[in-house]
Structure 1
C-alpha cells in the first residue's frame, strides 16, 4: 500500500483501472487497498461517475514522516551545521524543527542524541589552500564511517596522506570535526597508539569491525579539538 500511496501523491488523477494495470492486480484489489488506506486515516478523494479518478490529499503526510534513529540524527546534525553557519536565509523554522525532532525521542534516545552531539565539533573555516584540495569521499566510505561513529565501533581504513602515500589504520572514531567545508575524524589510532586526526575525504576505504570501543577522556585529544564549539 505504500507504493500505492506514493503513486497517488505523485499523480494528480489516477483511475482504479489504470492503477490495477500498473501494479498488475485486479481493480477489486485496488478498491480494497483504497478502503484499507481510508481506514488508516489517509485522505483519499474520489470523483464520481465513469472514468472518475482517485487521489491522495496533497496535505497528507505532513507531520507523518517516520525517521529511523540514524536518519533523525543526520537531520539534527544538518540543522545544527546550518545554524552554526549563521546564514540569514531559510533558518526561521530550523530551531522549531530541531526541538520537535528531539522531543519525539524517548528519554533514552534523547540522552543518546545529546551524547552524540557532544562528539560533533565545529572549528575554524578551512584555509583556501585546504579548500582547493578537498574532494568528496566515496559514498560507501561515508556510510561506513557514519555507522562506526554512531555505534562506537572500531574502523579499519585505508588513508591517503598529503604526500600521496597510503597506509592501513585501525581507528576508534571518537569525534567528527567540521572546519568548513572539510570534515575530519578525530580518532584513537591503534597503529600509532595515540590520537590522530584524519581528513574524511582522504579515506580511500573503510570497513567496520563490529568491535566496540569506550570513549576516552576528551583531555587525551588535546590540540586535535581546537575550536570545539558544540553543534547543539
Structure 2
C-alpha cells in the first residue's frame, strides 16, 4: 500500500510542477480540489518539491498562492504506459499520413519513447500499432456530419481496444435507427478526420465497421477476445482503399 501511495505522490508532484509552470499563480485550495487530496497533502508535496530544488514562490495573505519560476524548465516527462502508447501511436499516425509539416523531430521522439518500454511492452506496442489503419480522407459529405464522440465512449473504446476486450455499445445508424450490440474492437481505421472501429459484431455474427461518433454509449465487459487477421475484415473494409 505504501508503495502505491508513493507512486501516486511522485506522479502528483510531477503534475503539480507542470501545472504551476503552465498556469502561473495557483492557490493551495484549488490544487487540493483538482487533485482530490487535502490542502495539507498539497502543502507537504510543495514543501518536498522545494527541498528537491524547485523554485516555488509563495504569496502570503488573502488571495495569495504559489507559483513556479517561469525561467525554470521541466527537465523530464514522466508518462504512464498508457500515455506513452497514446503519444507513440499519434506519432505513427502522423507519419503514415505523410504530412510534410512538423515531422522533423518525430523520429527522434519515437525512438526515445520506444526505448523507454521494456522488451515485452515494446512487442505489445508494435502489435498494437499494426491495428491502426489509415485510409483516404473522408468525403466532404461525411465530414459535414461528423461530431466528437462523448468522452466516456472514447475512454471505454480506447481501453477495450488496447486490452482486446469485448465492448457493449449503443449505436445509431445514419438513418437514425439505434441498437444495442456487443463488439470486438479488432482494428481502428482513420479516414481523416473520422475514426471507425473495425469489429466483429455479435448481434449480426459478422464483421462490421462502426463510425466512432455514432457510438452513443460504451461499456467494457471484461471478456477478452482473440485478434483476427486483417484479411478476415476484407469484405467490411472493401472500398476504403486502405494504405499499407
TM-score when scaled to structure 1? 0.78
Q: Is the 8 A contact 2:172 2:178 kept in 1?
A: yes
Q: Give the conservation status (yes or no) of the 8 Å contact 2:136–2:242.
A: no
The CA deviation at 1:204 is 0.6
1:175 to 163, 187, 201: 187
**Higher mean displacement: 194-203 or 75-84:** 75-84
Give the deviation of 1:130 after TM superposition: 1.2
Q: Which residue of 1 aligns with 2:233?
A: 221
Name the counterpart of 1:9: 21
Q: Which residue of structure 1 aligns with residue 87 of structure 2?
A: 75
Matches of 1:68 and 1:92, distance apart in 2: 25
Are 1:154 and 2:169 an aligned pair?
no
Q: Which runs of 5+ in 2 are unaligned?
A: 1-11, 33-38, 58-65
- Per the TM alignment, residue 112 of structure 1 is displaced from its structure 2 partner at its CA by 0.6
Matches within 5 A, 1:1-232: 2=13, 5-6=17-18, 9=21, 33-34=48-49, 36-38=51-53, 42=54, 44=55, 55-56=68-69, 58-62=71-75, 64-225=76-237, 226-230=240-244
| C-alpha RMSD of the superposition | 3.2
3-state SS in 2 of match to 1:229: coil
1:41-89 per-residue CA deviation (whole Å, 9 max, x = no partner) reads x5x489xxxxxx9955744423x21111211111112222222333322
User: 3-state DSSP class of the match of 2:213?
Assistant: helix
Higher relative contact order at CA 8 Å, sep ≥6: structure 1 or structure 2? 1
TM-score normalised by the chain length of structure 2: 0.75
Q: In terms of mean alpha carbon deviation, does 146-155 or 86-95 score higher?
A: 86-95
**Structure 1 residues without counterparts, runs of 5 or longer:** 47-52
Contact 1:45 1:57 in 2 (8 A): no
Separation in 2, partners of 1:54, 1:140: 33
Q: How many residues in Structure 1 have an aligned counterpart in Structure 2?
A: 213
> Quick one: distance in 2 between partners of 1:54 and 1:135?
37
Cα distance in structure 2, aligned partners of 1:125 and 1:219: 22
3-state SS in 2 of match to 1:130: helix
